[in-house]
């Protein structure tokens, strides 16, 4: 079962930073936070994941609160191609393989 | 990067017939693959976990006799929808677990329409 809560939709102006929040208040110490996105009628695309520390890659930054009960995905300069549904997922490793998707946030980047 | 393909990308079949969907890991070996189903405007729902050389593990509420999964090699898993009905029309997505277990790579999906 999904263990995350996300706002159903958000808008962001093109070129601005998009900050997508996620609540995972029941996360346990061994669970990672993953972010995927799904552009219409395509398979999900990996964005980033983390355990405790903030993470950054070429696509985005992941900010995890100190108590790990929430996180924020940051797309630093949103483009129209970033319009998609963004899923925040918690996953136990190493024994947990499955991803259980929540409802996600539909992000619309506005010109 | 790791690539997962699905075939076909879309299929239309008549009610009562069976249809097979293939999921392949193109440049890596995947001991574990997963099958999801997604209805319009809904999230992905995990259907089953497919392990190479063993029986699939189905999520609660998923009929194992209707959705047959075979993972005969380290690069191929198949999902067969048997005796398809219009309510089985959906977007079926597979994914493959990467070597370290941290990664999971998704296929592009297969749109099934049952008429």
pLDDT tens profile B18-72 = 999 999 999 888 889 999 999 999 999 999 999 888 889 999 999 999 999 998 8
Residue B22: both structure tokens together: 């293939």
Q: What residues pair up with A57 in beta bridges, in sequence order?
A: none
DSSP characters for B65-96?
A: TTEEEEEEETTEEEEEE-S--GGG-EEEEEEE
* Chain B residues whose beta carbon lies within 8 Å of the beta carbon of residue A44: 44, 93, 95, 106
Q: Any idea what DSSP says for residue A29? A: T
Do residue A43 and residue B43 have CB atoms under 8 angstroms apart?
Answer: no
| Among the partner residues A42, A49, A103, nearest to B43 by beta-carbon distance | A103
Residue of B nearest to A101 (CA): B44
> What is the spatial distance between Cα A88 and Cα B79, in angstroms, rounded to a whole number?
26
pLDDT digits (tens, 9 = 90+) for A40-49: 889 999 999 9
Q: Which residues pair with A110 in a beta bridge?
A: A13
CB A34 within 8 A of CB A90: yes
Q: What percent of chain B has pLDDT over 90?
A: 77
Q: Which chain B residues are within 8 Å of A43, Cβ to Cβ?
A: 4, 6, 93, 95, 106-109
């Amino acid at each position: 079962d999904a263990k995350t809560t996300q706002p159903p939709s958000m808008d962001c102006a093109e070129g601005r930073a998009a900050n997508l929040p996620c609540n995972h208040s029941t996360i346990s110490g061994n669970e990672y936070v993953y972010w995927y996105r799904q552009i219409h009628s395509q398979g999900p695309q990996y964005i980033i994941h983390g355990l405790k520390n903030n993470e950054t890659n070429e696509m985005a930054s992941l900010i995890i609160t100190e108590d790990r009960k929430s996180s924020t995905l940051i797309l630093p300069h949103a483009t129209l191609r970033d319009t998609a549904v963004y899923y925040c997922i918690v996953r136990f490793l190493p024994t947990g393989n499955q991803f259980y998707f929540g409802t996600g946030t539909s992000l619309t980047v506005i010109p | 990067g790791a690539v997962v393909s699905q075939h076909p990308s879309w299929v239309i079949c008549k009610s009562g017939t069976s249809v097979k969907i293939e999921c392949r890991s193109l440049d890596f070996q995947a001991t574990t693959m997963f099958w999801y189903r997604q209805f319009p405007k809904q999230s992905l729902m995990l259907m089953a976990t497919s392990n190479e050389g063993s029986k699939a593990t189905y999520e609660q509420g998923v009929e194992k006799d209707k959705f047959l999964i075979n993972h005969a090699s380290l690069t191929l898993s198949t999902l067969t929808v048997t005796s398809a009905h219009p309510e089985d029309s959906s977007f079926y997505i597979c994914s493959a677990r990467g070597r370290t277990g941290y990664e999971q790579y998704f296929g592009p999906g297969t749109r099934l329409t049952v008429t």
